[in-house]
Amino acid sequence: MTASLELSLLVVLTIAVVLLSFVVAAMLARLIRLEGRIAGGGADIFSELVGKVIPAELRAASSGLSRVLFLAEDCLSCRQLVQRFANEPPREPTALLWRGDGIPGPVETETLKIIRKAGHAFDSLGLRITPVEVWVDSAGVISIARPYELPRGISATPLVRKVASRR
C-alpha cells in the first residue's frame, strides 16, 4: 500500500517536474529574447514608427513643425529636458508633446510649440518610451524616429522605470 502510494506520488512528481521545466524553459527563452532586444539598442522599436502618420489634430496643433519630441511626465530625463528648454530653447523649430498633467518647464518660444496632455498621440502611435524624437514630412508621415539624444548635464534615467500611466 505504502509502496504503491509512493510510486504514484513519484510518477505525479515526475510529470510535475517535466511540466515545470517546460514552463521555466519558455520563460527563460522569452527573457533572453527580450534582453536581446534591449541590448540591441532598441533600433527595431523606432523603425516601427517610420511610415506611420501622426494624428491630424496633432499635425494641426504642431503648426506643421517637422520635428516632434515626445516627452512624458513620469520620465526623469524628460522633466530635466523640459527644464533645460526653459533656459535654452531648441534651435530647430520643435513641437513638444507632453504626456501628463503638469509640465515643469518652459513657456512657448519661437522655436518651441508645446502641446499638453498629448497622451492620445502617444497611444495612437503605440509609443511607450520617452524621450523620443520624430521627424515628419509635409504629409505628416514619420520619416525619422529615434531616441532623443540628451544634452550634457542631463542624467539619463539610469535604467528603465515602470510607472503608472498618467495623461
Partner 1 sequence: MLASAFAEAGLAYLTSSLLLSAVHHIRYWTQMSATLTAHGLWHERVRVPVQITLTCGEAIVASLALWALLASDVRLMQVTFVVALPLAAAFLAYVSVLERSGVHVPCGCYFIGRPELYDRPNHVPALALVLVSGVGLMATCFLNASTPEGLPMYLAGLRTAVILALGVSATLLVQVLGVLKMGPLSRNGIASPTLSITSV
Shortest distance, position 145 Cβ to partner 1, whole Å:
13
**Residue 107, interface with partner 1 (CB under 8 A)?**
no
Pairing of strands 112-115, 94-99: parallel
Shortest Å, Cβ 120 to partner 1 = 11
CB of 139 to partner 1, least distance (A): 26
Q: Which are the contacts of 64, defined by CB distance < 8 A and separation ≥ 6? A: 138
17 binds partner 1 (CB under 8 A): yes
Whole-angstrom Cα distance, residue 5 to residue 11? 10
Which DSSP state fits 101? S
Inter-residue contact 73 to 99 (CB < 8 Å)? yes
* Residue whose C-alpha cell reads 510518477 in the numeric block: 11
CA angle centred on 121, ends 119 and 124, rounded to 5°:
110
Instruction: Based on the shown chain and the rule CB under 8 A, indicate whether residue 152 belongs to the binding site for partner 1.
Output: no
What is the x/- site pattern for partner 1, positions 66-105, by CB under 8 A? ------x-xxxxx--------------------x------
The interface region with partner 1, picked from 60-68, 84-92, 105-113, 121-129 by CB under 8 A, is 121-129
The span from the CA of 53 to the CA of 61, in Å, is: 15
Q: Point out which residues bind partner 1 (CB under 8 A).
A: 2-7, 9-10, 13-14, 16-17, 20-21, 23-24, 27-28, 31, 34-35, 37-39, 41-42, 45, 72, 74-78, 99, 122-123, 128-132, 147, 150, 156-166
